[in-house]
Amino acid sequence: MAGVTPYSNPFKTNWLMRAGTLVVAGYILYAFSTMGLNFQRMAIGMEHAERLLSRMFPPNFERWELLLHDLMESLQIAIIASAVGIIISLFVGLFAARNLMPNIISAPARVVIAVCRTFHPVIIAILFVKSVGFGALAGILTLIVASIGFIAKLFAEAIEEISLKQVEAIRATGASFVSLILFAVLPQVFSRFIGFSTYQLDSNLRNSTMVGLVGAGGLGGTLFSAFQRFDYDFVTAILLTIIALILLGEALSNLVRRVFSS
């Protein structure tokens, strides 16, 4: 038709995209076949799961004293590790901020953060169990390392995003470096630091039950022993206790956020 400008088809066939999709789909099917994942294997697994669930209920709380002792130990591990980890992260994150510190300070601090983030808490817990022995100390040290890896990294990135106008204004008054941090930097990032800390406290409550699987104290060790003894009704009691601990941590985190946001 005269006067109509021809436009190119916006839905052109992208053969490269189609070929890539076929390659990904083919690899997924290959992975399924090599790992023995098929309907027969799934049906057998469901039968095992049905027998397991029938033995897990009703839960057995007869050993409630042991559960309460381990629950308190997990709670103490999480709280001590979070408190120490938050304090250390405050300094490590500050030293890692490249807009406040020279490279000779920020680079090593970032290496420390990267090392702390490298391994899963279970692997770190195994290293500490081998180093300091079984028990709560290994769990506390593990969660301190995990806290530094998370809080310090996000805290450093939050500092690097602050407005430097306030920093320059405080610096122009001749204030010391400590005053610069207290009155120009922290007011801009404090609420985010509280958010990172409460999230890590919540995470540490979960991880404090997990590191016990390798002997680092808490409910995890009792859970592992119950599985080894095929004591599945007691396993259910432990799992319900862990759920109660997580809900308690969620409520505590919300309370802390509400206090600092008001």
Tens-level pLDDT at each residue, the chain (262 residues)? 555 666 667 677 788 888 999 999 999 988 888 887 778 888 888 888 888 888 888 888 888 888 888 888 888 999 999 999 999 999 999 999 988 889 999 999 999 999 998 888 889 999 999 998 888 899 999 999 999 999 999 999 999 888 888 888 888 888 888 888 888 888 888 888 888 888 888 888 888 888 888 888 888 888 888 888 888 899 999 899 888 888 887 887 788 777 776 6
From residue 169, how far is each of 100, 174, 188 by CA, in Å?
Answer: 15, 9, 14
Q: State the pLDDT at residue 3.
A: 57
One of 3.30.70.20, 1.10.3720.10, 1.20.1250.20, 1.10.150.120 is the CATH number of 63-261, namely: 1.10.3720.10
Let me know: does 143 contact 81? Beta carbons within 8 Å. yes
Q: Are 216 and 125 in contact (CB under 8 A)?
A: yes
Nearest CA to 215 among 151, 127, 153, 106? 127
Q: Name the residue ranges covered by the structural domains of the chain.
A: 63-261
- Cα(13)–Cα(8) distance, rounded to whole angstroms? 12
* Residue owning tokens 């390392």: 145
Residue 261, pLDDT score: 66
Which residue's structure tokens are 């839960």?
59
